Structure 1
Amino acid sequence: MTPSALRVGLIGYGYAGKTFHAPLIAGVPGLVLAAVASRDAARVHADWPQAEVLADPQALLRRADLDLVVIASPNDSHFPLARAALAEGRHVVVDKPFTLTLAEARELGALARARGRVLAVFHNRRWDGDFLTLRELVERGTLGRIAHLESAFDRFRPTVRARWRESAAPGAGLWFDLGPHLLDQALQLFGWPDSIRLDAATLRDGGLADDWFQALLTWPQRRAVLRASMLAAAPAPRFAVHGTGGSWLKWGLDPQEDALKAGARPSWPPPAGWGVDANESRLTRPAGEALQSEPWPLQRGCQGAFYAALRDALRGQGANPVPPEQAIAVMALIELGQRSAREGRTLEAGRMPGLAEPAEKR
């Protein structure tokens, strides 16, 4: 018997909702984009004429026919909307960053556990082809013991745009926008660090939020430098990884975001050609007394895997692709990084945070 489709409600049809969530949801068999909360019904219906559009997110949350609510609205709305959706008994996906504070993240995790609901956070960059390639290199020990990782997300956008991500609003700026991606990838590779030091700055003319950052994470015998800039016309390598057995460098960004921006609607499993990254990737290793450098094949990216795995988890057939505990760890480093930048010093990371106890057990 074919399982019935899971009905999905999407809150927010700005950049994240339109570019990532709607097409990836619609591409996964077994998921149906049934409703969208947006003040621009014409914009939604131009792309998804079958979806019901509601101007009020609360009206969407009250709909009893939705199995899953996806929150892709501005960052400062993530916590109240996710809390309300869980209170209504819905499974929930929250776009990154999970929340604005560690306390909010832990509260949502505890609420989901108490209600027996699946709560996932959209750390979609785990399914970029270059990161999948790096993860395989690390797991296979191809580079030996990793000593130094540099992970950079560079763009050239010298003009400040009138949008909430670049405003002075809570949760705006690059540390909240790209920091979660880079931190999550570092945690997936190496686990919880010993310390963090963040330098964040506003470098563009007329800038209102941080548009450059550099974070240093430390482990015993390992360092990771995570960077992002809005003023990099000639970007550095996306990844530069150095170990006792060699180095791997990769240039350019994963192509999935640009394809989705251009209107692509990938099915699942992804079609041939989807997520193929033509950017340069090189592995350098010892060859006798010399060093040998060679092109290294990149895996295909597959961000739709997040929603395919989530569908299976909701059917009881697999694990949550990004459970709250993992997103809570990212938020702990986001918050600790903010404090490091304010105080201008390196801060010990301490123990990795866990879920808060449900309110009824306190």
Structure 2
Amino acid sequence: MALTMAIIGFGKSANRYHIPYIKERDIKIKYIYNHRRHREKEQGFYDADTIFTDKLDQVLNDSEVQLITICTPPATHFEYGKLVLEHGKNVLIEKPFVANQGEAKELFALAQSKKLLAMPYQNRRFDSDYLTLKKVIELGYVGKPLSLESHFDKYRPDDRLHEGSQVDGQFYGLGVHMLDQILGLFGKPQTVSYDIRAIQNSASTVDDFYETQLFYDNFKATVVSNPLAARPYPRFLLHGTNGTYVKYDIDQQENDLKLGIMPGDLNFGIDTPSQFGVVKYKNQNGDWIEKQIPTINGDYGRVYDSIAKTLTNRDAKLVSDEQALWNMEILEAGITEKGPHLYNLK
């Protein structure tokens, strides 16, 4: 039976990261709620049966709707998430999930009390580069991991003054994904160090740079985003007891989506061989081997596949409540104290 859902919000997030993937699946978008109707954008929508509305009650009170995805500004996530759950609907919330641990705990408790699903949208668990990194670790190419660097850099000069809440910065906006990838692979760290700044205009209250280190037993993961990186740093650099894996360049899904190349189109999101990662390791004979690792295809729609399995088969959620709360704890601790600092997880 097809999953019937609705989307709250009809901006870039909904149109780039959700709808193109949903339409490739056995999922019916019955409603799209937007308090500001953009009728010119609604014309020619892929499913003529989708109802565009500015009446939220129409969506919340429809018994056919099983899942609602929230694609609105971060400040609205908690309010909408709570409203959806109170009306007996499962909810998927775009990043960042909510502003703090307290809000996250309240939503998870409400969902559990109603036997509903509440989950952050962590689509980057299905980045091609991340899926390939996971496979390299699983196959044991580098032995026991000792250190991992995860970079999401660009060169985008902007020295204007940016004012706003710290939850509107790069750390909450992108760091939430990069941290989730580490937590999904290695679990809860013991200690976290932070360097979160506005490097292009120090008077800005919204950060544009972060370097966060997660410390485990004899392992460290570093996540970095720098807006002024004119030369590329590896997307992933993994060192282990038996070798090293290096991957340049990011997952190609977003680049293709920006060009209008959609899921289902030929070669969507595929790396070229020149973008493949390289592993250098010792084989059983003690010989050094160096070879390319073909990139595993990414697919953000697999988030919805996982939700369908959770709702129909009671499979475990893709992102557990525990992982989401670790993420919120790390994010919150990063912005509550200014300047470089350490934080020990509870």
How does the TM-score come out when normalised to structure 2? 0.90
Per the alignment, do residues 107 and 160 of structure 1 end up closer, same or farther by CA in structure 2, a change over 3 Å counting?
farther
Secondary structure, counterpart of 1:199 in structure 2 = strand
CA contact (8 A) 1:68 1:93 kept: yes
2:320 maps to 1:326:
no
CA deviation profile, 1:96-144 (whole Å, cap 9, x unmatched): 2111001101111111000111122211111111111111122222211
Identify the residue that residue 138 of structure 1 maps to in structure 2. Answer: 137
Q: What is the 5 A alignment of 1:285-304?
A: 285-286=281-282, 291-304=288-301
* Distance apart, 1:175 and its partner CA: 0.5
Q: Which moved more, 1:114-123 or 1:284-293?
A: 284-293
Identify the residue that residue 270 of structure 2 maps to in structure 1. Answer: 276
Identify the residue that residue 356 of structure 1 maps to in structure 2. Answer: none
* Distance apart, 1:321 and its partner CA: 2.2
CA deviation profile, 1:73-104 (whole Å, cap 9, x unmatched): 11111111000000000011111211100110
Let me know the Cα RMSD of the aligned residues. Answer: 2.3
Identify the residue that residue 333 of structure 2 maps to in structure 1. Answer: 336
* Distance apart, 1:160 and its partner CA: 7.0
Identify the residue that residue 222 of structure 2 maps to in structure 1. Answer: 225
Out of 195, 200, 206, the residue aligned to residue 204 of structure 1 is 200
* Distance apart, 1:207 and its partner CA: 5.0
Letter in 1 for 2:342: T
CA distance in structure 2 between the aligned counterparts of 1:24 and 1:328, rounded to whole angstroms: 27
CA distance in structure 2 between the aligned counterparts of 1:41 and 1:167, rounded to whole angstroms: 32
Per the alignment, do residues 44 and 245 of structure 1 end up closer, same or farther by CA in structure 2, a change over 3 Å counting?
farther
* Distance apart, 1:280 and its partner CA: 3.7
Per the alignment, do residues 73 and 225 of structure 1 end up closer, same or farther by CA in structure 2, a change over 3 Å counting?
same
Identify the residue that residue 173 of structure 1 maps to in structure 2. Answer: 169
Equivalenced residue count is 339
CA deviation profile, 1:138-166 (whole Å, cap 9, x unmatched): 2222211111100011122223799xxx7
Out of 34, 40, 43, the residue aligned to residue 42 of structure 1 is 40
Secondary structure, counterpart of 1:33 in structure 2 = strand
CA distance in structure 2 between the aligned counterparts of 1:7 and 1:160, rounded to whole angstroms: 45
Letter in 2 for 1:276: I
CA distance in structure 1 between the aligned counterparts of 2:184 and 2:11, rounded to whole angstroms: 28
Identify the residue that residue 345 of structure 1 maps to in structure 2. Answer: 341
CA deviation profile, 1:54-77 (whole Å, cap 9, x unmatched): 235455334333211000111111
Per the alignment, do residues 213 and 142 of structure 1 end up closer, same or farther by CA in structure 2, a change over 3 Å counting?
same
CA distance in structure 2 between the aligned counterparts of 1:302 and 1:49, rounded to whole angstroms: 21
CA distance in structure 2 between the aligned counterparts of 1:47 and 1:235, rounded to whole angstroms: 38
Letter in 1 for 2:19: A
Identify the residue that residue 153 of structure 2 maps to in structure 1. Answer: 154
Identity %: 29
Letter in 2 for 1:226: V
Q: Which moved more, 1:206-215 or 1:192-201?
A: 206-215
CA distance in structure 1 between the aligned counterparts of 2:280 and 2:163, rounded to whole angstroms: 42
Q: Which moved more, 1:257-266 or 1:135-144?
A: 257-266
Q: What is the 5 A alignment of 1:1-362?
A: 3=1, 5-29=2-26, 31-38=27-34, 39=36, 40-48=38-46, 50=48, 51-57=50-56, 59-159=58-158, 168-169=164-165, 171-205=167-201, 207-267=204-264, 273-278=267-272, 279-286=275-282, 291-316=288-313, 318-339=315-336, 341-342=337-338, 344-350=340-346
Per the alignment, do residues 214 and 137 of structure 1 end up closer, same or farther by CA in structure 2, a change over 3 Å counting?
same
Letter in 1 for 2:148: L
CA distance in structure 2 between the aligned counterparts of 1:161 and 1:59, rounded to whole angstroms: 42
Per the alignment, do residues 58 and 333 of structure 1 end up closer, same or farther by CA in structure 2, a change over 3 Å counting?
farther
Per the alignment, do residues 312 and 226 of structure 1 end up closer, same or farther by CA in structure 2, a change over 3 Å counting?
same
CA contact (8 A) 2:166 2:335 kept: no
CA distance in structure 1 between the aligned counterparts of 2:57 and 2:155, rounded to whole angstroms: 37
How does the TM-score come out when normalised to structure 1? 0.86
Per the alignment, do residues 25 and 65 of structure 1 end up closer, same or farther by CA in structure 2, a change over 3 Å counting?
same
Per the alignment, do residues 65 and 41 of structure 1 end up closer, same or farther by CA in structure 2, a change over 3 Å counting?
farther
Letter in 1 for 2:16: T
CA deviation profile, 1:261-296 (whole Å, cap 9, x unmatched): 3333425xxx76333222241111236777443222
* Distance apart, 1:333 and its partner CA: 1.2
Per the alignment, do residues 311 and 263 of structure 1 end up closer, same or farther by CA in structure 2, a change over 3 Å counting?
farther
CA contact (8 A) 1:215 1:226 kept: yes
CA contact (8 A) 1:27 1:265 kept: no
